[in-house]
């Protein structure tokens, strides 16, 4: 990945770094305000992440990182892939990029005032379109790859909830079959679906949910925790019934198992972060009989532990798969370790530096284990993780 930025353009972009560090959030807020003057553009975005500020903070951090690395584009490769996958999930297309350019440059001028000279704005326009073209090209490749597969589709497709399965006191699985009766594109174990909900009070609400079944051509399963409030999880738990129609785009995401497993695998999850891990375990049980797998999960207690019987059944089918659960509220009758998962336990009970680690869970869980695994000697290239929500600069680092 290389850009033909002139030294002058690089100097101009880097000159704005201190201003972006101070005013970046305000610039992004102004940008979204301009974008959302068009209801069709506003409908493309996850409004929950707008209201709680996570998307604004994440994008401000990403733009600051881009400015700091304008002369070192190689460090942005993973971000380009992650964003491209998410854009395909949210049905963002090439025609949307000019709207963002206009809004971003207008917001920079609005917030920075006279500092944002015509030269500075021209430099940022050049920098924006360099990234935008990378994203558009990658998104086109992703869409083409989906459409060349049996069952592939683009945009929104209607699915029927064919079954509800209570998994714990707060978690339910939903089996989804396409309303049109056709096949579905097999996902890569670990990927997610993006849903659009048009229920009363939340028109156009979008959510990403990891697929919790192994790859197949017939259906998807998602496994959803009932969160507080009146959002998508409340709709699914309280209103959605067998026969309810929901819409989603095809499976996307850059967090998945490789087609060839060369190292031992350690799957590490906290809470509802188990969902992509179950998909991975199903794929391993089906297609990788010789893979060495350790699954380690943490939750509060037996009542909050979802899919336990299903995971035990998968382990019983695979001679090289082990599963250990940690309960922070363990009773004497529980077949689980007590307390929290620790690096010391992982070092003593898994291949550790020889393994590929796949992590999913709450932000503090991920931040702790990504940092501590790498700090304990696991190569960074062997630590893979999925985070439910916008990826801020701190987490991405």
Positions at the binding site for NADP(+): 271-276
Query: 328-346 as b/e, with b when 16 or more CB fall inside 10 Å?
Result: eebeeeeebbeeebebeeb
Query: What DSSP character marks residue 303?
Result: G
Pick the CATH number of 157-248 from 3.90.330.10, 2.40.30.10, 3.40.50.10070, 3.30.70.980: 2.40.30.10
Classify domain 265-396 by CATH architecture: 3-Layer(aba) Sandwich (3.40)
Query: What residue spans in the chain does CATH classification 2.40.30.10 cover?
Result: 157-248
Query: What residue spans in the chain does CATH classification 1.10.490.10 cover?
Result: 7-147
Positions at the binding site for FAD: 192, 207-210, 387-390
Which backbone phi and psi does 373 adopt, to 5 degrees? -65, -45
Q: Measured between alpha carbons, how far is 28 from 19 in angstroms, rounded to an integer?
A: 13
Beta strands in 80-191 (DSSP E): 157-166, 171-178
Residue range 7-147 in CATH 1.10.490.10: yes
Positions at the binding site: 87, 192, 207-210, 271-276, 387-390
Can you name the residues that pair with 360 across neighbouring β-strands? 269, 386
* Predicted pLDDT of residue 108: 97
Question: Do the strands 245-248 and 157-166 form a parallel or antiparallel pair, or are they unpaired?
Answer: antiparallel
Instruction: Tell me what the pLDDT averaged over the chain comes to.
Output: 92
Whole-number percent of the chain with pLDDT over 70? 94
Candidate list 97, 128, 295, 358, residue with the active-site label: 97
Q: What is the mean pLDDT of residues 295-307?
A: 95
Q: Measured between alpha carbons, how far is 352 from 346 in angstroms, rounded to an integer?
A: 7
Q: Integer distance in angstroms from the first to the last C-alpha of the chain?
A: 19
CB 142 within 8 A of CB 85: yes
* Predicted pLDDT of residue 394: 43
Any idea which residue has 């382990």 for tokens? Answer: 315
Query: What residue spans in the chain does CATH classification 3.40.50.80 cover?
Result: 265-396
Each residue's pLDDT tens digit, 222-279: 999 998 876 889 999 999 999 999 999 999 999 999 999 999 999 999 999 999 999 9
| Environment class of 258 (CB within 10 Å of its CB; exposed 0-12, middle 13-18, buried 19+) | exposed
Sign of the CA dihedral with 346 first, then 347, 349, and 351 last: positive
Task: Mark whether 139 is an active-site residue.
Answer: yes
> DSSP readout, 169-206?
SSEEEEEEEETT----PPPPTT-EEEEEE--TT-TTEE
Each residue's pLDDT tens digit, 59-98: 999 899 999 999 887 778 888 999 999 999 999 999 999 9
Compute the radius of gyration of the chain from its Cα atoms. 22
Candidate list 139, 167, 282, 386, residue with the active-site label: 139
Using the predicted structure, report yes or no on whether residue 319 has a pLDDT greater than 80.
yes
Name the pLDDT band for 55 (thresholds 50, 70, 90). Answer: confident
Name the pLDDT band for 395 (thresholds 50, 70, 90). Answer: very low
């Amino acid at each position: 990945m290389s850009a033909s930025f002139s030294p002058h353009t690089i100097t101009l972009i880097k000159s704005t770094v201190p201003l972006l560090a101070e005013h970046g959030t305000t610039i992004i807020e102004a940008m979204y305000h301009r974008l959302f003057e068009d209801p069709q553009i506003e409908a493309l975005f996850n409004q929950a992440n707008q209201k709680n500020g996570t998307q604004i903070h994440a994008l401000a951090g990403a733009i600051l990182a881009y400015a700091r690395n304008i002369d070192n584009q190689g460090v942005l490769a993973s971000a380009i892939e992650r964003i491209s996958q998410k854009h395909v999930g949210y049905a963002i297309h090439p025609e949307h990029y000019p709207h963002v350019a206009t809004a971003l440059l207008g917001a920079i001028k609005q917030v920075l005032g006279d500092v944002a000279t015509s030269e500075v704005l021209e430099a940022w326009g050049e920098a924006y379109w360099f990234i935008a073209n990378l994203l558009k090209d990658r998104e086109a490749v992703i869409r083409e790859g989906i459409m060349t597969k049996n069952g592939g589709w683009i945009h929104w497709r209607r699915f029927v909830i064919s079954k509800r399965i209570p998994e714990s006191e707060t978690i339910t699985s939903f089996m989804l079959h396409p309303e049109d009766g056709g096949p579905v594109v097999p996902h890569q174990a670990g990927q997610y679906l993006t849903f659009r909900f048009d229920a009363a009070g939340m028109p156009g609400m979008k959510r990403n949910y990891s697929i919790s079944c192994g790859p197949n051509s017939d259906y998807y399963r998602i496994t959803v925790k009932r969160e507080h409030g009146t959002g998508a999880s409340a709709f699914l738990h309280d209103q959605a019934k067998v026969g309810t129609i929901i819409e989603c785009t095809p499976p996307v995401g850059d967090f998945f198992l490789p087609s060839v497993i060369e190292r031992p695998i350690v799957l590490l999850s906290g809470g509802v972060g188990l969902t992509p891990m179950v998909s991975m375990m199903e794929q391993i049980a089906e297609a990788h009989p010789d893979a060495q797998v350790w699954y380690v999960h943490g939750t509060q207690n037996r009542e909050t532990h979802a899919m336990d019987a299903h995971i035990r059944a998968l382990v019983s089918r695979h001679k090289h798969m082990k599963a250990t659960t940690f309960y922070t509220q363990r009773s004497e009758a529980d077949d689980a370790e007590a307390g929290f998962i620790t690096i010391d336990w992982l070092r003593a009970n898994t291949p550790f530096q020889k393994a590929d680690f796949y992590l999913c869970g709450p932000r503090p869980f991920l931040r702790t284990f990504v940092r501590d695994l790498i700090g304990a000697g696991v190569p960074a290239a062997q630590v893979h993780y999925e985070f439910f929500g916008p990826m801020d600069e701190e987490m991405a680092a």
